[in-house]
Amino acid sequence: MTIFYNAIIYPLELLIEFFFIFFDKSFDDYGLAIIGISIVVNFLTLPLYHVAETLQRKERDTRIRLAPGIARIKAAFKGDEQYMILSTFYRQNHYHPAYALRSSVSLLIQVPFFIAAYQFLSNLVQLQGKSFFFIPNLGAPDGMLQVGSVALNVLPLVMTVINVIAGMIYTKGFPLRDKLQLYGMALLFLVLLYESPAGLVFYWTLNNVFSLGKNIFYKLKRPLPVLYILATATTLGLTAAIWIIHPTLSLANRIIFISGCLVIVFLPFILNFFRCIYSQFLVGLAEQTKQRNTIFLLSATLLFLIHGIVVPANLLSSSTIEFSFTGTVHNPLSYIATNATIFFGVWIIWPLFIYAIAKKATKATISLFLCLLSLTALANLFLFTGEYGIVSTLLQFENPSLLDATPVMMLLPLLVTLLLIVALLFLVKYKKTPLLCSLLTILVLGSFFSGVVSVITIHREYTEYAENLALADEGIDDTNEIQPVFNFSKQGKNVLFIFLDRAISSYLPFILEDIPELQEQLEGFVYYPNTVSFGNNTLHGVPAMMGGYEYTPDEINKRSNEKLVDKHNESLLVMPKLFMDAGYSVTITNPPYSNYKWEADYTPFKEYPAMKVMHHHGKFSVRYKKEHQDVLEWDVAYESDIIKKRLPIFSIFKTSFPMIRRTLYEEGRYFQKEEKPQFTDSF
């Protein structure tokens, strides 16, 4: 069921969450955000419902036309004879009883969107205690009508009334069977949503209002012009409101807003332009069923491989150890499996469903559009990667300002996309689609093998890391009792070398001044203020800090005939060996970047069994957080859950135009609801 949910429902939940955060950031009001996602979702699904209703109408008309003949056959014949004559009758009229399923297409569309909205809005803790006009609490059942000591929920009743009215208008003149189906669904939603949070019921009520409006539109003589005027007015109003409320929008965001607004305003002209493009270039492709289907399947598969496997596998393989044993996830391949399942739904299942119910002209357009998307994604991923610096395991960049695109990075990707559009149109027009299919096949195979190589790398490095942890006798069980690590002598000398990542040594006197008890505990130790790192990262800074001046970058580079990893390992041994040779007992915890592994690889120390080398990364912080859960509200699954949620948006981020990456990044939250601040950085 988890796989089914991730493939079918979760992509829709991500879509709903994206627009909810967008409208909340725009208007800082959860009620308006719910209205916003209802409008967007209904407009996006309008073409799907139009196709579904066309199929349902065809099925209904066929049933009505064949009903008298079916009734005569059933009255005159029984048993096998009736079955054989009915089968012949259906075949003569080009009908099959299975076609009756077409009457449920709109329901098949509606149910996944309902489940996605239910899952998202029912679990949205931010709605708790938030009111909106007449709704006292969006996070709980409304209870707006008090009858004696019983509080009745009004919103579900209003929702049902609107649903029934919409159904009455839509099913006017329909057979009783179709009417009962709609009224039954209205009753089912009343039962399901009666005790639900008001925010969810409000959202579904708005959907029913939209459905009512849609059914009224269908009764108009010219519904499309009216719909266009409403859509244009709504878009202009929203754009103007956001522009006024947020006067400091970045240039990239302003361009995005203006572009989106212009698309709606000039939609009739854009559609006419696409009709011209279709008549000039795509008519042949619409008739070439095999080649059209091949382009569609290869393009969808390429997009699935890029977003589902290649991007996350490249990220995780760049530092497998960092993504190992995060939260409740041990093997990082679990993240790739979840991400791949989500994008299998995004690029395979949902497009296949839309493609299956579309007409030939629409199928040709979808095929070429997916082809353009896949090629553009590859170009953005490999040609316009951007230098964004270090990214954390929570997929947050160390310096987000680097995400701002330069004018060249704004225009050049758009120019490449324009060239791709021209090339694809000419390939299709001059019947070079076999060449296009060959190119897509090569790209699919290349992406597949690239992903496989990265997956193998992750598995190998994870296995090695797990084995190293076992050898270090620390294992992965953070529930073990913590034993003393450093044992100090009461008679002899004790030397403690503290090496903290990103620590600033000049802060220490101020810390001791603020915490007198710490100063008492450290009495007898010598503080050396005149210390400096030879670099701002582990590779440059560690060797000299651990081994002295012979291991500064300049001195290491003079020994050009030796591997850098060997010189780094050698530097880690300088102090421990000097102290051990002088008769000291030596204990080392988490030697930095030992053997060029993030942690837990103690290869350099194997020759010296007297040195006690231990792995304690996270062990004390996990213990502390567990003991203080009432204060920290800490959940062991927090980190892994965040990675799973952000990874799909990160995959899209990497293949998007550089101009919109800062917007998608959204200050490190990737347009997802904020979680409780319960994560403590391990360092």
Flag whether pLDDT at 682 surpasses 50.
Answer: no
Angle (CA) 310 312 316, round 5°: 115
Flag whether pLDDT at 508 surpasses 60.
Answer: yes
pLDDT of residue 475: 40
Confidence (pTM): 0.84
- Label residue 382 by pLDDT band (50, 70, 90): very high
612-614 vs 587-589, strand pairing mode: parallel
Flag whether pLDDT at 477 surpasses 80.
Answer: no
Phi, psi (deg, nearest 5) at residue 329: -100, 125
- Label residue 683 by pLDDT band (50, 70, 90): very low
Distance (Å, whole) CA 391 – CA 64 = 62
Burial 176-192 (b: 16+ CB within 10 A, else e): eebbebbbebbeebbee
**Which residues, other chains included, contact 51 with Cβ-Cβ below 8 Å and sequence gap of 6+?**
105, 357, 358
Least confident stretch, 90-94, 411-415, 617-621? 617-621
Least confident stretch, 250-254, 295-299, 603-607? 250-254
- Label residue 125 by pLDDT band (50, 70, 90): confident
Flag whether pLDDT at 115 surpasses 60.
Answer: yes
Please check whether residue 47 is in contact with residue 271, taking contact to mean a CB–CB distance below 8 angstroms.
no
Flag whether pLDDT at 464 surpasses 70.
Answer: yes
Flag whether pLDDT at 178 surpasses 70.
Answer: no
What's the chain's length in residues?
A: 683
pLDDT of residue 304: 98
Please check whether residue 604 is in contact with residue 576, taking contact to mean a CB–CB distance below 8 angstroms.
no
Flag whether pLDDT at 354 surpasses 80.
Answer: yes
**Which residues, other chains included, contact 535 with Cβ-Cβ below 8 Å and sequence gap of 6+?**
541, 553
Distance (Å, whole) CA 408 – CA 659 = 10
Phi, psi (deg, nearest 5) at residue 522: -95, 15
- Label residue 103 by pLDDT band (50, 70, 90): low
Least confident stretch, 104-118, 165-179, 581-595? 165-179
pLDDT in tens, 186-219: 888 888 888 889 999 999 899 888 888 877 776 7
SS3 of residue 143 by DSSP: coil
Of all residues in the chain, the percent with pLDDT exceeding 70 is 93
Least confident stretch, 37-46, 379-388, 416-425, 571-580? 37-46
Rg of the chain taking only CA atoms, in angstroms = 32
Flag whether pLDDT at 310 surpasses 70.
Answer: yes
- Label residue 59 by pLDDT band (50, 70, 90): confident
Flag whether pLDDT at 398 surpasses 70.
Answer: yes
Flag whether pLDDT at 101 surpasses 70.
Answer: no
pLDDT of residue 631: 72
SS3 of residue 559 by DSSP: coil
Please check whether residue 644 is in contact with residue 338, taking contact to mean a CB–CB distance below 8 angstroms.
yes
Rounded mean pLDDT, 59-84: 82
What is 325-359 written as a DSSP string? TBTTB-STHHHHHHHHHHHHIIIIIHHHHHHHHS-
Place of tokens 């096949």: 441
